[in-house]
């Protein structure tokens, strides 16, 4: 398994956990599951971005391992759409214990759907690693 495939598989795993946790929260009303699901969705996106950077040619040991590093790498190698996507997902999924009142399942689901599409496009190489643009189908 190549390094970028390793990150894609991990991203898919955590995406599925995110979906499961969000559904569990909707079903039983326990907000903790939603918070956990948001964390897993955020992790899924970050893993997918690492796979994308590897496709771009960035060495694994040069990949960012924190938020500040990820922002820097996206700005350096990405485009405005990628920056906007990353920021909007962070705004929705970046929930902490003080934000429980603002959990919005429809926004969370929209973010998770965007992450799912991003992973799919990355996995099936529908994203150009040079421009980060989605390739025509």
Which residues of the chain have a pLDDT value below 70? Answer: 1, 96-102, 127-137
Query: How many CB atoms neighbour CB 128 within 10 A?
Result: 13
The pLDDT tens digits for 78-91 are 888 899 999 999 98
**133 in a structural domain:** no
Domain that holds residue 78: 3-123
**135 in a structural domain:** no
**43 in a structural domain:** yes
First to last CA, the chain: 25
**129 in a structural domain:** no
CATH code assigned at 10: 1.20.120
Residue 51 and residue 11 in contact, taking contact as beta carbons nearer than 8 Å: yes
Question: Which helix (H) or strand (E) segment is 61 a member of?
Answer: none
Q: What is the pLDDT of residue 130?
A: 52
**128 in a structural domain:** no
**45 in a structural domain:** yes
d(CA 71, CA 76): 9
**117 in a structural domain:** yes
What is the number of structural domains in the chain?
Answer: 1
């Amino acid at each position: 398994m190549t390094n970028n495939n390793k990150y894609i598989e991990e991203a898919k795993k955590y995406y599925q956990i995110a979906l499961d946790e969000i559904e569990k929260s909707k079903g039983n009303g326990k907000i903790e599951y939603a918070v956990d699901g948001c964390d897993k969705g955020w992790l899924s996106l970050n893993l997918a971005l690492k796979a994308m950077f590897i496709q771009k040619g960035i060495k694994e040991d040069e990949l960012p391992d924190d938020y500040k590093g990820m922002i820097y790498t996206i700005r350096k190698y990405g485009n405005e759409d990628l920056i906007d996507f990353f920021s909007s997902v962070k705004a929705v999924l970046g929930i902490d214990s003080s934000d429980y009142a603002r959990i919005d399942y429809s926004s969370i689901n929209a973010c998770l759907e965007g992450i799912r599409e991003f992973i799919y496009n990355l996995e099936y190489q529908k994203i150009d690693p040079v421009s980060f643009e989605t390739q025509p189908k």
